[in-house]
Amino acid sequence: MIDRVTATYRIATHLDLAEAAGVIAGEQSAGTFARVGFETDELRREHSATVLSVEQTGVLASTQGLPGGLGGTGTGPLKVGVVRISFPTQNFGPSIPAVLTTVAGNLYELQEVAGVKLLDIELPNAVIEQYPGPKHGVEGTRRLIGNADQAMIGTIIKPSIGLSSAHLSDMVAQLAAARVDFIKDDEINSDAPYFPLMKRIDVVLKTLEDAQQRTGARVMYAFNITGDLDAMKRGAERIAQRGGSCAMVAIPSIGLPALTELRRSTDLVIHGHRAGFGALDRSPLLGYSFRVFQQLARLAGADHLHAGGVDSKFWESNDEVVANVRAMQGGGPEDMRMLPVLSSAQTAATAEPTRALVDSDDLLVLAGGGIHAHPGGIADGVSSLREAWRMVADGLSPTAEAIDGTPLAEALRVFGARR
């Protein structure tokens, strides 16, 4: 039985890489900066972390390191490498917060490392079995919206802030009539005084109920309930009572324990937003990776998770976005698979490069401006996305196949130029 957590780091240091890795292992387990009286050999054998491997991958100018690294700045190159360290689970028990405190805690404070980033984590069953995991994931979401096998097309309410109840209802009605699969609040619109969450839930779900009676189409709406835990539970309960199926939370803002508690308290689909995660991931020498984040969000119970977007407006490269999606698609049993969400400047023009790179339709593609800013209006925006993704799934090129004057051709004309 595996009873250790293994963490993989990228570190940068003025010291020998193995020495720096040993400092991390000691600080985050049974050691400290000096041998202490009760630190017996037996205790060290039972509770010490172990450095499994050290591989140097390059060097950096010292000015690229973090403040406070031994040697300061300008004193020579930093050695950069990948190290693997294992930690005995008996030190902290089967708890995500406790695991994170060990593998991504005070090691960031150590002077011996001028840079440290958690790249990957391997968890034993003792930890995994303590957590609920996704309740719906890919297949559950497909069943709820009635989309069996195509890429799921969604959008974000735009403008994000300031819409009246009448304008929001009108927008949602238009989107539902256009047969969009999914609509979500923007992450900055939660429980605003000008339009409280409870009222927004009632307005939107009444609109969607009326639309379903007319069209038979089921549209999933993700209400942003991000807030204090009690308030999130009340929001989720109201959504369920009014016949809704989905709630959205910004996972870095609420924290993984709150996500776990929310998952255990509701049957709703939980749409995981990653707003704020860039602070943890954007630096190559600090924080932890999306690969780690998605694994922990999955355990805690998120059904969906934002993975970035191909040719997006954000900082990640296309290769990094693809790696994010791949991380979500692999690892663990099928019933623990989250639905990857693509967003940020997604349009009909991004369907072709995305499908070429990702080669999957098990995606939720969110287009804000790509739908709302279509010259023909909301319905044409939805149509252009849907048609583009149908074409690429069939191995066709929207650019080559689009017929002049159609919503797809107009979308490619307007949005293709920004790529």
> Of the ranges 282-286, 301-305, 312-316, which is most confident?
301-305
Q: What domain range includes position 94?
A: 4-128
86 and 25 within one domain: yes
The pLDDT, as a whole number, for residue 416 is 86
172 and 107 within one domain: no
Using the 3D structure, point to which of 110, 128, 146 is the last residue of a domain.
128
- pLDDT tens-digit profile of 104-154? 999 999 989 999 999 999 999 889 999 999 999 999 999 999 998 999 999
Q: How confident is the model at residue 336 (pLDDT cuts 50, 70, 90)?
A: low
The pLDDT, as a whole number, for residue 100 is 95
Q: How far apart are the first and last CA of the chain?
A: 50
Instruction: Say if residues 104 and 256 touch (Cβ distance below 8 Å).
Output: no
What percent of the chain has pLDDT above 70?
A: 93
CATH of the domain at 121: 3.30.70.150
Closest CA relative to residue 82, chosen from 29, 18, 14, 27: 18
305 and 175 within one domain: yes
Which residues lie closer than 8 Å to 130 by C-beta, 6 or more apart? Answer: 94, 95
121 and 248 within one domain: no
Which residues lie closer than 8 Å to 235 by C-beta, 6 or more apart? Answer: 191, 197, 198, 201, 223, 225, 227, 247
159 and 51 within one domain: no
The pLDDT, as a whole number, for residue 410 is 96
Query: Structural domain tally of the chain?
Result: 2
104 and 146 within one domain: no
Using the 3D structure, point to which of 128, 157, 185 is the last residue of a domain.
128
Q: Report the length, in residues, of the chain.
A: 419
269 and 383 within one domain: yes
Q: How confident is the model at residue 418 (pLDDT cuts 50, 70, 90)?
A: low
124 and 199 within one domain: no
The pLDDT, as a whole number, for residue 349 is 96
CATH of the domain at 399: 3.20.20.110
Strand partners, 88: 4
Give SS3 for 409: helix
60 and 208 within one domain: no
More confident residue, 40 or 16: 16
Backbone angles phi, psi at 131, to 5 degrees: -120, 150
Closest CA relative to residue 401, chosen from 393, 19, 208: 393
Q: What is the mean pLDDT of the chain?
A: 92
H-only helix segments in 3-94:
17-27, 41-47
- pLDDT tens-digit profile of 196-222? 999 999 999 999 999 999 988 889 999
Alpha-carbon distance of 82 to 51, in angstroms, equals: 11
The pLDDT, as a whole number, for residue 333 is 62
Q: How confident is the model at residue 22 (pLDDT cuts 50, 70, 90)?
A: very high
Hey, what are 368's tokens? 């804000």
Q: How confident is the model at residue 32 (pLDDT cuts 50, 70, 90)?
A: low
**Identity of the amino acid at 300:** A
Using the 3D structure, point to which of 128, 158, 187 is the last residue of a domain.
128
Q: How confident is the model at residue 66 (pLDDT cuts 50, 70, 90)?
A: confident
Of 37-46, 233-242, 331-340, which range is least confident?
A: 37-46
216 and 316 within one domain: yes
The pLDDT, as a whole number, for residue 65 is 76
294 and 400 within one domain: yes
pLDDT at 386 exceeding the cut of 90: yes
The pLDDT, as a whole number, for residue 1 is 44
pLDDT at 37 exceeding the cut of 70: no
Alpha-carbon distance of 176 to 199, in angstroms, equals: 19
Strands 182-184, 152-156: pairing is: parallel
Helix (H) or strand (E) holding 79: strand 78-88
59 and 143 within one domain: no
**Mean pLDDT value of segment 303-316:** 94
